[in-house]
């Protein structure tokens, strides 16, 4: 195995050494507060909410999936259960009709009626097992769309390569695993997508390629307007930059440009629209984005949570919401996903500190 590839695969597949949450180092807008919801979720990744208030968290910690419960309404999980073990990088979780769907690289499995069996979880049942087996961009954020279908990405199995329409795309299937179809192409590695309330448009982050320098390309915020749309990878990056190898003879105008450039190498991951009423009114309809942070940049970028506000379909602002997960080029935390709760607070997962945080607002 080539040295760089070995290092990269290790970075992708191996659990990070957990750091302790250092919330005193974080900065938030005036009136916002952040607290630990649970610090017992090693390598916490995607968050999904159950119908009875359970917070499900995928991870890349020994193949475990977690269930967090706040039984007394304190705003902090008082019980953390492991509800599945031995799965391959089960970072993605999605809840539907009482069942929890979990991604496991080449498979999607389901835990049936899980909220009624948190103390005696059922054996994972395979829903689909024909996704590629590569682990390079092989772990999967998953989510059910307004159409009732499960959306599953297939990342590029490389930093930069052209595998046609077999990789670098977003797919969807029925809840029983049937009817798999392609939705969009030219997506290097999306680890976050969601649907905008009101019009059900799909929005997603995409991580740009490496080894083109510190400042190119940007990660992307994209919006899907039609099935079959192509977002450029590996030919065009950030909507306006041809790839030095695969861009020859191509034109960026032939691909869908991002709605917003999110910054170079920030590793933009989970994102959700905010529809709650606890935060100030100007956050209604805003999009929160977790930025996991760079790993190969001269100076670190990302390591924060951003907010995007809109004027219709146009971006009105792109601001830092939470900062301070790294100082002086040393990081203690790496945000992965964001998930609003029914009470209007916001959960944030952190795979480096092995924690989930809860953000509240009180003037």
Asked if 152 and 131 touch (Cβ cutoff 8 Å), the reply is: yes
Residue with tokens 């979780």: 93
Residue 190's CATH number: 2.120.10.30
Residue with tokens 């991002």: 258
Tokens of 42: 């090693």
| Domain region containing 318 | 3-361
Residue with tokens 């034109």: 251
Q: How many domains does the chain have?
A: 1
| pTM of the predicted protein model | 0.94
3/159: higher pLDDT: 159
Q: Beta strand pairing status for 268-273 and 287-291?
A: antiparallel
Residue with tokens 């969807």: 172
Task: Tell whether the torsion through CA atoms of 142, 143, 145 and 147 is positive or negative.
Answer: positive
Asked if 231 and 219 touch (Cβ cutoff 8 Å), the reply is: no
Question: Which pLDDT score, from 0 to 100, does residue 326 have?
Answer: 95
Question: Which pLDDT score, from 0 to 100, does residue 18 have?
Answer: 61
Give per-residue pLDDT as tens, 324-345: 999 999 999 999 999 999 999 9
Question: Which pLDDT score, from 0 to 100, does residue 29 have?
Answer: 98
Asked if 66 and 81 touch (Cβ cutoff 8 Å), the reply is: yes
Task: Tell whether the torsion through CA atoms of 342, 307, 240 and 5 is positive or negative.
Answer: negative
Q: Beta strand pairing status for 229-230 and 181-185?
A: parallel
- Residue 220: count of CB within 10 angstroms of its CB: 27
- CA 359 and chain centroid, separation: 18
Give per-residue pLDDT as tens, 148-179: 999 999 999 999 999 999 999 999 999 999 99
Let me know the angle formed at the C-alpha of 91 by 56 and 29, rounded to the nearest 5 degrees.
70
Q: Which residues, including other chains, have CB under 8 Å from residue 85's CB and lie 6 or more apart?
A: 62, 63, 64
For residue 294, give the nearest of 329, 260, 320 by alpha carbon. Answer: 329
The residues that bridge with 68 in the sheet, in sequence order, are: 55, 80
């Amino acid at each position: 195995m080539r040295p760089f590839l070995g290092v990269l695969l290790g970075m992708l597949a191996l659990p990070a050494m957990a750091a302790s949450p250092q919330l005193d180092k974080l900065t938030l807008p005036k009136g916002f507060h952040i607290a630990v919801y649970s610090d017992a979720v090693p390598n916490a990744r995607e968050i999904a909410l159950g119908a009875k208030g359970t917070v499900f968290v995928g991870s890349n910690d020994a193949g475990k999936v977690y269930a967090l419960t706040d039984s007394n309404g304190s705003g902090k999980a008082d019980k953390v259960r492991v509800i599945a073990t031995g799965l391959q990088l089960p970072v993605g979780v999605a809840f539907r009709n009482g069942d929890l769907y979990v991604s496991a690289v080449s498979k999607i499995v389901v835990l049936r009626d899980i909220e009624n069996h948190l103390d005696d979880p059922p054996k994972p049942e395979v829903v689909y097992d024909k996704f590629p087996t590569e682990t390079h961009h092989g772990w999967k954020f998953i989510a059910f769309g307004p159409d009732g279908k499960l959306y599953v990405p297939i990342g590029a199995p490389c930093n930069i390569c052209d595998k046609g329409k077999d990789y670098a795309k977003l797919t969807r299937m029925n809840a029983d695993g049937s009817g798999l179809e392609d939705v969009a192409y030219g997506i290097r590695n999306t680890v976050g997508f969601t649907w905008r309330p009101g019009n059900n448009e799909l929005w997603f982050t995409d991580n740009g390629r490496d080894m083109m320098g510190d400042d190119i390309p940007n990660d992307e915020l994209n919006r899907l307007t039609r099935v079959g749309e192509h977002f450029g990878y590996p030919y065009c990056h950030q909507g306006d930059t041809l790839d030095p190898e695969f861009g020859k003879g191509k034109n960026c105008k032939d691909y869908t440009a991002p709605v917003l450039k999110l910054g170079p190498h920030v590793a933009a991951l989970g994102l959700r629209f905010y529809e709650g009423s606890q935060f100030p009114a100007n956050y209604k309809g805003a999009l929160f984005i977790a930025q996991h942070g760079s790993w190969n940049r001269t100076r670190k970028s990302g390591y924060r949570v951003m907010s995007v506000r809109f004027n219709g379909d146009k971006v009105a602002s792109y601001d830092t919401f939470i900062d301070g997960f790294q100082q002086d080029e040393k990081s203690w935390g790496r945000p992965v996903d964001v998930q609003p709760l029914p009470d209007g607070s916001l959960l944030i997962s952190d795979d480096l500190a092995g924690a989930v945080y809860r953000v509240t607002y009180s003037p």
